[in-house]
Amino acid sequence: MIATQIEPMSALAQLQESKPDRVTIVLLSGDLDKAMAAFIIATGAAAMGMRVTMFFTFWGLNTIRRSGATRSAKDWLRRMFGLLNRGGADTLPLSRFHFGGLGTKMMQTVMKQNRMPGVPELMQTALELDVRFIACTTTMGLMGITKDTLIDGIDQFAGVTTYLAEAKQGSVNLFI
């Protein structure tokens, strides 16, 4: 009888082990506040021992673009889009009160005064904590963003199937 009582528990343990705490974050937004929220959750979860995957798509790709990287899209339309849509984790605007850069600068100043890490620092921490970075190939093409203009440390260049395979095992799946 003891065995029968132990068996189901170990089977349950197996089930729980097969579904460890995973976090996936789709970052579509290129706003400073939303990118901060995404990286604060990602680094927090990784520090708590959770397996974290971030999937960068559309404007979210801006956060993982190297600052000042030259645009190398082949056709002029995408090159133009790339010019309008500046990248780099340190140039993200606020979703509100950007005010041509003033509001964003203001918040960055407050962050520095309070020694709060910005997006570049949070991103570095995320990479050190083994948060997996996936760049969405579908939207990279769409936005004229090429691999060589992205930061080092991208784990995978992939599409929606890769994201879903991870997300369906995730306990926390956010779209930001």
Site for a second copy, rule CB under 8 A: 1, 3-5, 7-9, 11-12, 15-16, 21, 23, 26, 28, 30, 33-34, 37, 40-41, 44-45, 48, 50, 57-59, 75, 77-78, 80-81, 84-85, 95-97, 103, 106-107, 109-111, 113-114, 116, 138, 141-142, 144, 159-161, 163-165, 167-176
Instruction: State the minimum distance, in angstroms, from the CB of residue 160 to a second copy.
Output: 4
Residues 65/145, Cβ–Cβ less than 8 Å: yes
The smaller minimum CB distance to a second copy, of residues 154 and 160, is found at 160
Instruction: State the minimum distance, in angstroms, from the CB of residue 156 to a second copy.
Output: 16
The smaller minimum CB distance to a second copy, of residues 132 and 166, is found at 166
DSSP 61-105: GGGGBPTTPPP--SSHHHHHHHHHS---GGGPPPSS--GGGHHHH
Adjacent-strand bridge partners of 27: 56
Instruction: State the minimum distance, in angstroms, from the CB of residue 27 to a second copy.
Output: 10
Residues 73/79, Cβ–Cβ less than 8 Å: yes
The smaller minimum CB distance to a second copy, of residues 7 and 128, is found at 7
The smaller minimum CB distance to a second copy, of residues 127 and 170, is found at 170
Instruction: State the minimum distance, in angstroms, from the CB of residue 159 to a second copy.
Output: 8
In the Cβ-directed half-sphere of 150, how many Cα atoms lie within 13 Å?
Answer: 24
Degrees (nearest 5) of the Cα angle 174, 126, 85? 70
Instruction: State the minimum distance, in angstroms, from the CB of residue 152 to a second copy.
Output: 26
Rounded Cα gap, residues 130 and 52, in angstroms:
8
Rounded Cα gap, residues 132 and 147, in angstroms:
16
The smaller minimum CB distance to a second copy, of residues 1 and 152, is found at 1
